[in-house]
Amino acid sequence: MNKIAQIVKWCNGALAVDVDINAEIDELATDSRNIEHPETALFIAIKTNLRDGHLYIADAYVAGVRNFLVSRHVEAGELQGANIILVKDTLLALQQIAAGHRKQYKLPVIGITGSNGKTVVKEWLYQLLGGRFSIARSPKSYNSQVGVPLSVWLMEPEHQLGIFEAGISQPGEMEQLEKIIAPTIGVFTNIGEAHSEGFLNIRQKINEKLILFRHAQHLVYCHDHAQLNECIVNYVHHVQDVKLFSWSAKQDADLRVTKINKQGNKTQITASYKGEEATVTIPFGDGASVENAMHCWCVALLLGLSQAEIAEGMMSLQSVSMRLELRHGLNDCTVINDAYNSDLTSLQLALGYLDQQKQHLMHTVIMSDMLQMGKADIDLYEEVAAQISRRGIQRFIGIGPALYKNKAAFRKYKKLRSIFFRSTEDFLKNFHQLTFNKEAILLKGARVFAFEKIGLLLEQQVHQTVMSINLAALKQNLDVFRAELSPGVKTMAMVKAFAYGSGSYEIASLLQHAGIDYLTVAYTDEGISLRKSGITLPIMVMSPDASSFDRMIAWNLEPEIFNFRSLGMFVQIAQTLQVKNYPVHIKLDTGMHRLGFEAHDMEQLITLLKDNPMLQVASIFSHLSASEDPKEDDFTALQAKRFDDMSSQLMRELPNSPLRHLCNSAAIVRHHSLHYDMVRLGLGLYGVDGSHSLEGKLQQISTLKTMIAQVRDVPAGDSVGYGHKAMADHDRRIAVICIGYADGYLRDLGNGNAYVLIHGQQARTIGSICMDMCMVDITNIPEAKEGDEVTVFGNDLPVTLLGQWANTISYEIMTSISQRVKRVYINEE
Ligand SMILES: *Cc1c(COP(=O)(O)O)cnc(C)c1O
């Protein structure tokens, strides 16, 4: 453990307030919502252009933290009994602390960088070497300026090897990461051709990445990437003496691949090393896996493993999934399936995600024995039990001999119900005696325990048509828009219409977690269901119908007031319920001519608002009708002028100062001068670039897939589908796919107006779209067969294209996907 005095020294800090300079720190925390051991944690207030950690100091204090690292003055009085360290730059301090921590250890450390494969190589090395060494490694893909120091901090005296990955996005960043990781063995996986921001060209990118190996003794890389090889050889020649260890399938190298033999899902690789041939088989059939495995092979040789040991490990490599899948389960449960490794760090991450599932009061963890080296079982499970109990989890189901033996560690927490089974089979046999109802369930099992069988029982039968929603992509889209905003401008997210078809609660919960300021729904009922599932953000309701005003107030939802009639009725209810300062939002009509007050209404509106102080205007806003269209910029300017005039008139007379907001997604990007105090983000969040000026920075968050139900051959001259139409003069092969207009696949997409993707190839619709299915032409896709996956839209087939085909807009395509289509939420790192 590190003492606080030591930490102060490492980061050159000043102890602004010292209460206890002997306080011990075993955890570095940058997120106040995710702190494992508050008593011994140091909360580091990091400021990025999106978020300022200083705003969460109070939360961390309430959670029990008593040590803080800050870069600006904080009132000590509010942090009774806490140590406060003051530095100039908290991110730099975090990095210096991690570098100081790293220096305490003399052991081999593998540093991995490159464009692709970093995480897989790191995890595979862990799988290959885990039986030999006690290993510290980066959790998931923690490879950033913040992620690397947090990873390296996990090194402890018992470790014999470190494996960390490093990723950078601009020049200058690797310098810091090198000091923190200080690798003795380097792995440079590969370099992508894609142009990346911040770098002049690929060579500059390679050279920057090479900085990671400044003090390394060995560097592993593939000789066959020409540019990479050139830069590395040059680097070794001019800059530094490091022993290169290369592999190649084409030329002479330390490990020379002589034969690659693909057999379905397996690949046999033969290579010669020091004049002797050896063969390994990996359980993967793709080229990227071969490349990743080769890098691991080189490292394993460097670390002294024998060819026989390596071959044995390679055979059982497991795919690295960084997904946490959220699915709807039986009896209204939500199931989180964590297919990631089973160890303490990943448990902590998964528990954090479970904690966010506030729509359920009851939380259950089903976990298998952990296969973690370096800790005695008893200590390991004491720690697991402590984590589980601290998170307020009500039920723990432990599966496996080691957990069974260590029951007592869990039983001592009186509020935690715990049940144990010796094996997965035992659990499955007893499944029907357990009840699972309206709860969030985390499934976390090491591979050998085959938890997928439990998943099958808990999850609802998947309807063949599934829309998967990538929550990580949503978060990235949000960040793209936040980067457009000046500091202090707030964000309101539009989650109306079931979050543009994506599902309300899951999206709202993510947005709440991401620190958004406001949510907006269309109807009171939508707002209530968000409240019921634990959303506490302020929520504006856009089309409040007067009969629901009382329920709005009961659930703390804020109405949009757009005319005198709605104002009058809300006032009545507010008087009856005797509310004070109730927040309302005043909508102005500046040219859209939908809802809203007009200029000539202002005086009367002011009088009414002054007469009714139980209402407080929280915001004033208007909607632009053509913000995406450069040809209409004059009209947008006119709308803005009207908004400015009307809202200024109101602001002068109102006792408080409401927020003003005007911009929707397209306007955020195209009209920076109109951001006012807040912006309203809709379509862009879901990955559609209405502004046409974000150059592919957004990711479509939803993918709709279905399945081929039947394949048949239709002779020339025969028709397909209703109406005895759709004939052709040649023989065709058609596939019937499980999606129709009742799922939201619009009828206009029929008769060849649209295509779907099968095995990556286009298959056009034939005949009309039926209610539950439709037909597509697969004459040119001979490998297509029954049961195959069909992509209706997704990253390779944008929703905007479907919009064009059906003569409509993306908004309609997205919101038309019916509720019977199952949604699956994916949180991918
Ligand atoms: C839907 C909506 C938005 C969001 O518009 P996008 O174009 O989807 O960003 C903003 N403001 C109002 C009033 C809306 O109804």
Specify the ligand 1 atom closest to the Cα of 811.
8
Cα of 368 from ligand 1 centre, angstroms: 46
- Is 594 marked as binding a ligand? yes
- For ligand 1, atom 4, which residue shows the shortest CA distance? 682
Band of pLDDT at residue 373, cut at 50, 70 and 90: low
- Is 565 marked as binding a ligand? no
Tell me the three state secondary structure of residue 16: strand
Question: For 805, which DSSP code?
Answer: H
The number of helix segments (H) and strand segments (E) in the chain equals: 27, 38
Cα of 95 from ligand 1 centre, angstroms: 41
SS3 track for 134-147: CEEECCCCCCCCCH
Percentage of the chain exceeding pLDDT 70: 97
Cα of 257 from ligand 1 centre, angstroms: 56
Band of pLDDT at residue 88, cut at 50, 70 and 90: very high
Give the mutation target among 519, 520, 624 for probing the ligand 1 site: most ligand atoms within 8 A of CB.
Answer: 520
Question: From the candidates 250, 266, 722, 785, which is the catalytic residue?
Answer: 722
Question: From the candidates 496, 676, 741, 745, which is the catalytic residue?
Answer: 496
Specify the ligand 1 atom closest to the Cα of 665.
9
Specify the ligand 1 atom closest to the Cα of 664.
9
Dihedral sign, CA of 567, 570, 575, 576?
positive
Cα of 48 from ligand 1 centre, angstroms: 27
Give the mutation target among 477, 593, 623, 659 for probing the ligand 1 site: most ligand atoms within 8 A of CB.
Answer: 623
For residue range 758-777, what is the model confidence (pLDDT) as tens digits?
999 999 999 999 999 999 99
For residue range 374-423, what is the model confidence (pLDDT) as tens digits?
677 888 899 999 999 999 999 999 999 999 999 999 999 999 999 999 99
- For ligand 1, atom 13, which residue shows the shortest CA distance? 623
pLDDT of 644 over the 70 cut:
yes
For residue range 554-587, what is the model confidence (pLDDT) as tens digits?
999 999 999 999 999 999 999 999 999 999 999 9
Specify the ligand 1 atom closest to the Cα of 681.
9
pLDDT of 462 over the 60 cut:
no
- For ligand 1, atom 12, which residue shows the shortest CA distance? 623
Q: How many Cβ atoms sit within 10 Å of the Cβ of residue 631?
A: 7
- How far is C-alpha 179 from the geometric centre of its chain's CA atoms? 28
Element (H, E) at 736: strand 732-737
> Would you say 496 and 517 are in contact if contact means Cβ atoms under 8 Å apart?
no
What mean pLDDT do residues 312-333 have?
82
For residue range 30-46, what is the model confidence (pLDDT) as tens digits?
999 888 889 999 999 99
Alpha carbon distance 418, 656 (integer Å): 53
Alpha carbon distance 377, 372 (integer Å): 9
Specify the ligand 1 atom closest to the Cα of 621.
13
The answer to whether residue 722 is catalytic is yes
Closest CA to 732 of 766, 769, 762: 766
- Binding-site residues, ligand 1, Cβ < 6 A: 494, 623, 664-666, 680-684, 690
Instruction: Determine the angle formed by the axes of helices 173-181 and 90-103, rounding to 10 degrees.
Output: 30
Band of pLDDT at residue 236, cut at 50, 70 and 90: confident
pLDDT for 193: 65
Alpha carbon distance 231, 239 (integer Å): 11
H helix runs in 533-563, sequence order: 549-554
- CA of 730: how far to CAs of 594, 695, 717, 750, in Å? 52, 42, 7, 20
Q: Which of 77-81, 129-133, 215-219 has the highest mean pLDDT?
A: 215-219
Residue given tokens 């081929």 in the structure block: 708
Give the mutation target among 585, 661, 662, 664 for probing the ligand 1 site: most ligand atoms within 8 A of CB.
Answer: 664
> Would you say 795 and 700 are in contact if contact means Cβ atoms under 8 Å apart?
yes
Closest CA to 52 of 25, 80, 31: 31
Encoded tokens for 467 = 């829309």
- For ligand 1, atom 6, which residue shows the shortest CA distance? 682
pLDDT of 727 over the 60 cut:
yes
Cα of 520 from ligand 1 centre, angstroms: 9
What mean pLDDT do residues 670-694 have?
94
Q: Which residue pairs, CB below 8 angstroms and at least 24 apart, start in 100-105?
A: 100/6, 100/7, 100/9, 100/10, 100/11, 101/2, 101/10, 101/152, 101/153, 101/155, 102/152, 102/155, 102/180, 102/181, 102/182, 103/182, 105/155, 105/157, 105/159, 105/162
For residue range 471-487, what is the model confidence (pLDDT) as tens digits?
989 999 999 999 999 99
Is the whole-model pTM more than 0.75?
no
pLDDT for 696: 83
Cα of 573 from ligand 1 centre, angstroms: 28
pLDDT for 341: 63
The answer to whether residue 582 is catalytic is no
Domains of the chain: 2-91 (3.40.1390.10), 105-315 (3.40.1190.10), 323-461 (3.90.190.20), 469-686 (3.20.20.10), 702-828 (2.40.37.10)
Alpha carbon distance 336, 434 (integer Å): 18
What mean pLDDT do residues 237-244 have?
81
Cα of 681 from ligand 1 centre, angstroms: 7
Band of pLDDT at residue 621, cut at 50, 70 and 90: very high
Cα of 700 from ligand 1 centre, angstroms: 18
Specify the ligand 1 atom closest to the Cα of 496.
1
- Mean pLDDT, the chain, whole residue set: 91
pLDDT of 829 over the 60 cut:
no
> Would you say 675 and 485 are in contact if contact means Cβ atoms under 8 Å apart?
yes
pLDDT for 195: 52
Alpha carbon distance 608, 638 (integer Å): 27
